[in-house]
Amino acid sequence: MTQVLVYFDRVEAHLTPAQAELLTHADALGEVVVVTGSLPGEGQSSAAPLAVKGVTGVLTGSDPVGSPILPPDPALAELITAAAKELDPELILGTDTPDSVDALAATAVKLEAGLITGATGVTASGAATKTVLAGTWHTTAQISGGNAGPLVATLRPNTASQPEPAAKEPEVVELPVAASSAVQVLKQQPLPKSGRPALTEASTVVAFGRGVEGDLALVEQLADELGAALGASRVATDAGWIDHSAQVGQTGVTVSPQLYISVGISGAVQQKAGMQTSGIIVAINKDEDAPVFEIADFGVVGDLNEVLPQLMESIREIRACKA
């Protein structure tokens, strides 16, 4: 049976949607062991969040390794490498987040293994599918040559269903790897939480552009109504209407949610590059010739200030009927 090592930089009280989905992918491929920098719990750590179908064991360091407030600890790659030497897996998988990609890239170098990031699927024989060239091509790639070590791959969110829970908590084994970060934190201050999901992991994204003219009230209401993340075009982030981290596109983040609602965005090629692999694209724009309509599954030609209130009213009516 294929051995699959799944890497999470840390596990908190609840798995993130992307972590949970990754375990669904892994369970379909073979026998799954998770290696993680840290588990939840003070003193006595717990693997309860990893009580998921297919997970047979958990490996950690002798101390928690890595921290959300520090730069990625090089010991994370050591930990994954030690786990790989223990298990000799055919596949090492991680979520497609920057910290995870960093640690897995360093691991691939240590193991002289091949690395494929941003995959949408992986087979048990080590072939990975991904979309490339700004979402215009699907490719299937396989690492060959070299010492043909394990395939190291990161998988994009929103590419699998949530996994089934398991009755039993997996056993935790400590490996002799300790934290090594030489960085000292001088000051830390949490930013106010929006309560919205992370943009790159959200299953629904409401994105806005110049058309909102700096007034975010309606797009924020729609995002809250749908439990969506807020994204934006470069014009909107350059204008300072929202932080640059919300920029979707060629020089921003790439998102692939199940539903992407584009509001007052023209759909320039640089914007499309970051969102055109979304499951369903809904575009609201007052210009019927806006390029965004070329890739939209559903388009509404109209003024967003009229369309959005009607859209939210309809959503509430449908919910009330179903309740």
Ligand X SMILES: Cc1cc2nc3c(=O)[nH]c(=O)nc-3n(C[C@H](O)[C@H](O)[C@H](O)COP(=O)(O)OP(=O)(O)OC[C@H]3O[C@@H](n4cnc5c(N)ncnc54)[C@H](O)[C@@H]3O)c2cc1C
234 near ligand X, rule: CB under 6 A: yes
Tell me how far apart the alpha carbons of residues 59 and 5 are, in angstroms, rounded to a whole number.
10
Looking at residues 151 to 210 of the shown chain, list those that interact with ligand X (rule: CB under 6 A): 209-210
Residue 240's φ and ψ, nearest 5 degrees, are 80, 15
Looking at residues 257 to 276 of the shown chain, list those that interact with ligand X (rule: CB under 6 A): 264-266, 268, 270-271, 274
H helices of the chain, where?
A: 17-27, 75-87, 98-111, 217-226, 234-238, 269-272, 304-322
Min separation Cβ 147 and ligand X, Å: 38
Tell me how far apart the alpha carbons of residues 259 and 225 are, in angstroms, rounded to a whole number.
14
Q: In what order do the strands lie in the sheet with 127-132?
A: 121-122, 127-132, 137-142
Out of 211, 231, 257, 299, point to the residue binding ligand X (CB under 6 A).
211
The smaller minimum CB distance to ligand X, of residues 105 and 268, is found at 268
304 near ligand X, rule: CB under 6 A: yes
The smaller minimum CB distance to ligand X, of residues 107 and 262, is found at 262
Tell me how far apart the alpha carbons of residues 114 and 165 are, in angstroms, rounded to a whole number.
31
Q: What letter would DSSP give residue 73? A: P
235 near ligand X, rule: CB under 6 A: yes
Residue 201's φ and ψ, nearest 5 degrees, are -110, -10
Dihedral sign for Cα atoms in the order 241, 244, 250, 254: negative
CB 15 within 8 A of CB 49: yes
Segment lying near ligand X (by CB under 6 A), choices 12-20, 116-124, 190-198, 247-255: 247-255
Out of 252, 276, 281, 282, point to the residue binding ligand X (CB under 6 A).
252
The smaller minimum CB distance to ligand X, of residues 116 and 218, is found at 218
Out of 120, 200, 204, 247, point to the residue binding ligand X (CB under 6 A).
247
Instruction: Specify the residue for token string 């009230």.
Output: 217
* Residue among 101, 120, 114, 88 nearest 5 (CA): 88
The smaller minimum CB distance to ligand X, of residues 149 and 211, is found at 211
The smaller minimum CB distance to ligand X, of residues 42 and 288, is found at 288
Tell me how far apart the alpha carbons of residues 53 and 168 are, in angstroms, rounded to a whole number.
9
286 near ligand X, rule: CB under 6 A: yes
Min separation Cβ 119 and ligand X, Å: 22
Segment lying near ligand X (by CB under 6 A), choices 72-80, 110-118, 125-133, 278-286: 278-286
The smaller minimum CB distance to ligand X, of residues 82 and 290, is found at 290
CB 18 within 8 A of CB 29: no
Min separation Cβ 286 and ligand X, Å: 4
The smaller minimum CB distance to ligand X, of residues 11 and 248, is found at 248
Dihedral sign for Cα atoms in the order 87, 92, 95, 100: positive
Q: How many residues bind ligand X (CB under 6 A)?
A: 28
H helices of 171-303, where?
A: 217-226, 234-238, 269-272
How are beta strands 151-155 and 31-36 bridged, if at all? unpaired
Min separation Cβ 195 and ligand X, Å: 24
The smaller minimum CB distance to ligand X, of residues 134 and 172, is found at 134
Out of 67, 70, 250, 312, point to the residue binding ligand X (CB under 6 A).
250
186 Cβ contact partners less than 8 Å away, ≥ 6 residues apart: none
Out of 233, 254, 256, 277, point to the residue binding ligand X (CB under 6 A).
233
Q: Which residues are at the interface with ligand X (CB under 6 A)?
A: 209-211, 233-236, 247-252, 264-266, 268, 270-271, 274, 284-287, 290, 303-305
